[in-house]
Amino acid sequence: MGGSSTGRAFMGSFTSAGGLGVTVAEVDRNTGALTVLGSSDALPDPSFLALGPGGRALYAVGESAPGSVAAFDISGDVPALLGPVRPVDADGPTHLALAAGHLVTANYGSGSVTALPVLPDGSLGEVSSVVRHEGGGPDGERQEGPHAHQVLPDPSGRWVVSVDLGTDSVRVGALDPATGALEPHGESTLRPGTGPRHLAFHPSGRYAYVLNELVTTLTVCRWDAEAGRMEPLGEVPVLPESEPGSADPSVRAYPSEVVVAHDGRFLWTANRGHDSISVLTLDETGEKAALVATVGCGGRWPRDLTLDPGGQWLYAANERSGNVSWFAVDAETGIPRHAGSVEIPAASCVVLG
């Protein structure tokens, strides 16, 4: 942490629901507390954010139709657009990541993945490639077609991995750093109807954990970076069987985000509807996961979950209660203890610098 007692946090929110857009906050690393510094609504509905190399720029998707993406200069207390807002040639981008000198987006509405070059000044060029998924799943309301929900590089940096809720699959591609062409490489199919939303890799790079939105489970997978292949091993629950949803039995639980501890001992999930954070332990290899506890998320409808670089603080973006809450993580048990909250209307994402 460089010896500094303060850092920066960046939060996305839905401007169409009263959010302020992209918000910058100061982080007190001793207490986890966030102090809001400034916001920008230059991009509509910036629902997910990603920091650029060295923390010099911030990138955001505009989750709208048609969808867009933007780069921000974050050298000051108020984010400022860095270059033009770029279309992604798709609807409803929900996630983004940096890979091979490019920004890649997962486009839920169109069921596709888009790549755009990152220019030397950190701004974005025009779309270099779009890969459109095909297929569907058994849930007629949510899986009538492909819905790419997340995209990220694998730990080796050789592959781009995308999670598609609509097709119950994890797809692997190769991104050419020179041309920006994204070439499909393979696809791993999960149990039909699970609706995979996001995944996170184990620090060893040998396992991945896919969080399923349409059922309250986590699919443990073996990841082969040499072959670029994801092998599903089995599912584990992320909520107790006696607690499939909130106290109201008519309310379903919709898991949203999965985070793995930096040392690989614990895993956390955010659960909308149940409004909780689940704690799972991982064995020494990372192959076995087991649910050990659930705690309240400090708000309603936790859409995102983020662990600070030191592994001490966990942050939850609670969309429907309009706040970001933070928790002290017990180093022995992994169980988070609520420590504070800040008002962020229609909060959707938290990224720590």
pLDDT at 244 over 90: no
| pTM of the entire predicted model | 0.96
The pLDDT assigned to 3 comes to: 65
Q: Which residues contact 226 (CB under 8 A, 6 or more apart)?
A: none
Summarised one tens digit per residue, pLDDT across range 8-25 is 999 999 999 999 999 999
Q: With 60 as the cut, is the pLDDT of residue 234 above it?
A: yes
Give residue-wise pLDDT tens across range 51-103.
999 899 999 999 999 999 999 999 999 999 999 999 999 999 999 999 999 99
For 309-348, the pLDDT digits (tens) are 999 999 999 999 999 999 999 999 999 999 999 999 999 9
pLDDT at 220: 99
Distances 119 to 80, 160, 195, 237, 245 between C-alpha atoms, Å: 17, 20, 35, 43, 45
Per-residue model confidence as pLDDT tens digits over 161-211: 999 999 999 999 999 999 999 999 999 999 999 999 999 999 999 999 999
The model's pLDDT over 70-81, given as tens digits with 9 standing for 90+, comes to 999 999 999 999
Residue 221's pLDDT band (cuts 50, 70, 90)? very high
Q: For the chain, give the mean pLDDT.
A: 97
Q: How confident is the model at residue 247 (pLDDT cuts 50, 70, 90)?
A: very low
Does residue 250 have a pLDDT over 90? no
What pLDDT score was predicted for residue 241?
Answer: 77
CATH architecture type of domain 6-352: 7 Propeller (2.130)
More confident: 353 or 93: 93
Each residue's pLDDT tens digit, 118-161:
999 999 999 999 999 999 999 999 999 999 999 999 999 999 99
Residue 246 pLDDT > 50: no
pLDDT value, residue 73: 98
CB atoms near residue 27 (< 10 Å): 22
Predicted pLDDT of residue 248: 56
In the predicted structure, residue 242 carries a pLDDT above the cut 80: no
Average pLDDT over residues 267-280: 98
Q: What is the mean pLDDT of residues 241-265?
A: 80
Query: Considering Cα of 40, then 46, then 50, then 53, what sign does the dihedral take?
Result: negative
In our burial notation (b when 16+ CB lie closer than 10 A, e otherwise), range 184-202 reads ebebbebbeebbbbbbbbb
* Strand stretches in 283-346, DSSP E: 289-296, 302-307, 313-318, 323-329, 336-343
Residue 251 has what pLDDT?
A: 73
Q: What is the reported pLDDT for 278?
A: 99
Delimit the domains of the chain by residue range. 6-352
Give 3-state DSSP helix, strand, coil % of the chain, rounded to 5: 0, 55, 45
Among 56-60, 242-246, 282-286, the range scoring the smallest mean pLDDT is: 242-246
pLDDT at 4: 83
